[in-house]
Structures are given as C-alpha cells and as structure tokens.
Amino acid sequence: MFLETSSEETYEDGQIIFEEGKSGDWIYLVEEGAVELSKIVDGKKVVVEVVRQGEVFGEMAFLARIPRTATARALGRSTLGIMDRIYLDDQYSRLSESFQMIIKSLAVRLKKTTDSLVGVPVVRRERRTMKCLSLSFKDKNALIRSYSHNVSTSGLFIKTAKPLPRGEEFIIQLELPNGMGSVRCRSQVAWVRTETNDPVAQPMGMGVKFLDLSKEDQGLLQAAMA
C-alpha cells in the first residue's frame, strides 16, 4: 500500500506526539516502531489501541474536524510519516458535500463508540436546563463576558468562540435573574466544541463542571433554573 507523506518525524520512547483534547488534524503513518493511543477516564489512563508499522492514526480529527480524541505516545524509538496535507485536502474537497457529511458522521459515531467502550460517560448524571445566564470568567489575558447555553447544579455550557483548553481550572461568576444576586465558584473545562454545523442548537463553546459550588449557591441556582 502506497501512502503519500510529505515529511518524517522521529520520536523517542515515551515521547508524546499529541494530546487528547488538543487541536491539530495531521494524519500520521507509522513507518518504524509503534504508537500507543490512550484516553483518560476517571483520572486513569486507558489504552485504546497500539498502532504499528504500516498503520495510520490521527485521521478522526481530520475527518470530523474535532479536537484530538486520544493521546498518542511513542513506544520505543518510532519514525512517523506525516501525510501530505495538500494532497489530503484536495482529495477530500473532490467529494460531494453529501459524501463529506457521511464520512464526518461515521467519524463522530466511531468516536462515540470508542468512548462508550473505554467507559467515558456519555450521559450526564443530572439533566441540564436550557437557560441563558450572564456570566464572566478570566482567561490569561482578560475578563471574558459571555452567556450560558444550558445549566445544572453540577455544570453548564458557555457559548464562546474562544474556549479555554480542556482541563483548565478557572473562577466563574454567574449573574442570576430577578435580582437573585450572583454565584461564584471554581470550575474546570470538561470538553470543548470549536466547530459546529448547527450554531443554534450546538454553538461553539465549552462544557464546564463546578468544582466547589456550595450548598447555598446550589439552592440559588436551582431557584434560578426553576
């Protein structure tokens, strides 16, 4: 099998090639060595697959236009060919929009199936309510003002074109309606969405979980949701 590669990279044993949740959509071919693909589930590493010589990886992020779905780490000294991006983009663009949509749907479905098999929770423990609340948080440079898309007492989704990195912790302040005051707590980015085909139902932004919401603030938030 002949696959077009534009360059080569060599990684030493244990070296990270890319991390789960990060951006990037290069597709790699293992020319020598092997690569471990893993996910973090409930704070523990779960090995999804070991990719060996002649096999490719990284294709899901390219096809579905989503962040990396796993962490890739070299097993032993490994040489990787990087697939020619111009060639891939050209071949992909030659497909009809309908066929591109089918391929993207298959890639997203494969991601969901993989998540389910390795134990990544796909159902929230608490149902979220569609609620638009004014909020603010700080990134490394400035104070950001935005709005929630949905809310529960365990977390919310923030609509923003520039989400924080997955896993980053920050302080969020929610402004409650009808003069109920505000809620402030430490939070963490659970997941991000940087592209969408439906900006109304599935806007770009980040799913956030609350880390230390007090019982008093939980009560206020429940009242605001009601």
What whole-number distance in Å separates Cα of residue 210 and Cα of residue 189? 9
Integer CA distances (angstroms), 150 to 53, 116, 188, 211, in order: 45, 23, 16, 17
> At residue 69, what are phi and psi to the nearest 5 degrees?
-95, -5
Quote the pLDDT of residue 50: 92
Q: Is-above-0.75 flag for pTM?
A: no
- For 23, the token pair is 């951006």
- For 32, the token pair is 């020598």
- For residue 110, the surrounding DSSP H or E stretch is helix 97-118
Task: Give the CB-side neighbour count of residue 79, counting CA atoms within 13 A.
Answer: 5
Indicate the CATH number for domain 5-118. 2.60.120.10
Per-residue model confidence as pLDDT tens for the chain (226 residues): 456 778 899 999 999 999 998 888 889 999 999 999 998 876 778 888 899 999 999 988 888 888 898 999 999 999 999 987 788 888 888 988 888 888 878 777 777 766 665 555 444 445 567 778 888 888 777 888 888 878 888 889 998 888 898 888 999 999 988 888 888 999 999 888 888 777 777 788 899 999 988 888 888 888 877 7
Q: Name the class of domain 129-225.
A: mainly beta
What whole-number distance in Å separates Cα of residue 174 and Cα of residue 212? 14
- For 92, the token pair is 């992909």
Length of the chain: 226
In the block, which residue shows the tokens 């929770």?
121
Integer CA distances (angstroms), 186 to 157, 158, 171, 175, 220, in order: 15, 15, 5, 15, 16
Quote the pLDDT of residue 110: 76
Going from N- to C-terminal start, the domains of the chain cover 5-118, 129-225
Quote the pLDDT of residue 34: 95
Quote the pLDDT of residue 19: 93
Quote the pLDDT of residue 83: 87
Answer for the pair 82, 60: CB distance below 8 angstroms, yes or no: no
